[in-house]
Amino acid sequence: KGLFTYDPGFMSTAATESKITYIDGAAGVLLHRGYPIEQLAEKSDYLETCYLLLHGELPSAEEKETFVNTIKNHTMVHEQLSHFFNGFRRDAHPMAIMCGVVGALSAFYHDSLDIHDEHHRVVSAHRLIAKMPTLAAMVYKYSIGQPFMFPRNDLSYAENFLHMMFNTPCEEKKISPVLAKAMDRIFLLHADHEQNASTSTVRLAGSTGANPFACIASGIAALWGPAHGGANEAVLNMLEEIGDESNIDKFIAKAKDKEDPFRLMGFGHRVYKNFDPRAKVMKQTCDEVLAELGMEDDPLLKIAMKLEKIATEDEYFVKRGLYPNVDFYSGIILKAIGIPTELFTVIFATGRTPGWIAHWNEMISSDYRIGRPRQLYTGHPKRDYPA
């Protein structure tokens, strides 16, 4: 015990220094490279925020144009990769396919193995940011048996994603600017969140010298769980299970019952104990999207609002600092846009990619050691194999 500190769940262990993201959980502050998330959500856009996370500064107009064009150059995936999908069942969980196909990208880009070459690291970052929406849309198209749609480089990042998701070779509908803005904002609000479980997983995998595609695939796997990125899917399933406002009290009681493993999904956060600044922006975006679609009376939204009101006034939740987190409202927006519930965590993964890659790059560019936690052994003392 004396040799190292025992800290299950890393409640009080800082594993690294970082210049990327700052969080003050008590005050509900989230800054990317010093800029508040609320200001980025209002004035910036997803690709500009990606640039900021990767390079440390906002781009000039010219740098932004070059960056956006570079990302557009990488949106297609190798034709061979599209054959991978046929190996999956049509009803496979989208995150299962994403773990596979993102890891498989490393088989196509041998230069990415050279992780100590800065140029190759930057190209890998561009490839990942560009290809994630293409792969996410392919996962969806595969699940419904429609042909994959090629990316369209005349569209913005978010418009192109919605195009690949919802257009078909027979019909190309115009993408609503309000929905594209909402989609862009969802990606932006997920872009980074310092040393969360999936980012720490990416760093740990990266600390062994693994290539960036393998590292991001490990982040996707860690994100999948319902305590992390899987919460957005779990929130919607929970709201549907509640089904009616009259059932809310029953679910609140279940969440408070220590004998019952049920938790209110979309509530609570390891770091935010007052409010999650992303949830505030997400709620506002949710209102905009539902107004655009004429869905203000959406029954799920009504259940969500009532649940939020009851829980945030309940002593159990207040005492423990449990407030709606980013995932509480994102699911309602995604559902309204028409994205199926099983795909929600894939959207989170797409948005989080620049954060993962920025942290990986920060680590590789500095002095780092292989991540290797220790343990407290509580098993048998030495014993002899039976004669």
- Known catalytic residues? 228, 269, 327
Residue with tokens 């594993």: 15
Convert 291-313 to b/e letters by CB count within 10 Å (16 or more is b): ebeeeeebebbebbeebbeebee
Among 263, 280, 302, 306, binds ligand CMC (CB under 6 A): 263
Contact 173, 161 (CB under 8 A): no
Please select the residue that binds ligand CMC; options are 74, 152, 270, 280, rule is CB under 6 A: 270
Map the footprint of ligand CMC across residues 174-193, applying CB under 6 A. 193
How many residues are given for the chain? 387
Among 135, 149, 264, 334, binds ligand CMC (CB under 6 A): 264
Total interface residues for ligand CMC by CB under 6 A: 21
Region near ligand CMC per CB under 6 A, out of 175-183, 264-272, 358-366, 372-380: 264-272
Strands (DSSP E) found in the chain? 21-24, 29-32, 35-36
CB of 246 to ligand CMC, least distance (A): 20
Residue whose CB is less far from ligand CMC, 206 or 219:
219
Residue among 59, 268, 331, 355 that touches ligand CMC (CB under 6 A): 268
Nearer to ligand CMC, 55 or 228 (CB): 228
Which of the residues 5 through 24 are near ligand CMC (CB under 6 A)?
9
Residue closer to ligand CMC, measured from CB, 151 or 266: 266
Min dist. Cβ of residue 195 to ligand CMC (A): 11
Q: Smaller CB distance to ligand CMC: residue 64 or 263?
A: 263
Q: Between the CA of residue 107 and those of 45, 113, 261, 297, what are the distances in Å?
A: 31, 10, 41, 48
- Least separation in angstroms between residue 264's CB and ligand CMC is 4
β-strand partners of 24: 29
- Which token pair is 163? 């195009």
Rounded to the nearest whole angstrom, what is the least distance from the CB of residue 316 to ligand CMC in the complex? 7
The whole-angstrom separation of Cα 132 and Cα 169 is 21
Neighbours of 274 (CB within 10 A): 14
* CA–CA distance, 78 with 32 (Å, rounded to integer): 33
- Judged by CB under 6 A, the chain residues 273 through 332 that form the site for ligand CMC are 320, 322, 325-327
CB 21 within 8 A of CB 180: no
Residue number of the CB closest to ligand CMC reads: 268
Closest CB to ligand CMC among residues 175, 282: 282
Q: How far is CA 341 from each of CA 176, 235, 284, 291, rounded to the nearest angstrom? A: 21, 10, 21, 21
Handedness of CA 25, 29, 34, 39 (dihedral sign): positive
Q: Tokens representing 323?
A: 């407030």
The residue among 231 and 286 lying less far from ligand CMC, judged by its C-beta, is 231
Least distance between ligand CMC and beta carbon 379 (Å): 25
Kindly state the tokens that stand for 194: 């310092």
Identify the CA nearest to 353 among candidates 183, 179, 125, 149. 125
Select the residue interacting with ligand CMC from 179, 265, 301, 363 (CB under 6 A).
Answer: 265
In the region spanning residues 193 to 232, those forming contacts with ligand CMC, defined by CB under 6 A, are 193, 196, 227-229, 231
Binding site for ligand CMC (CB under 6 A): 9, 193, 196, 227-229, 231, 255, 263-270, 320, 322, 325-327
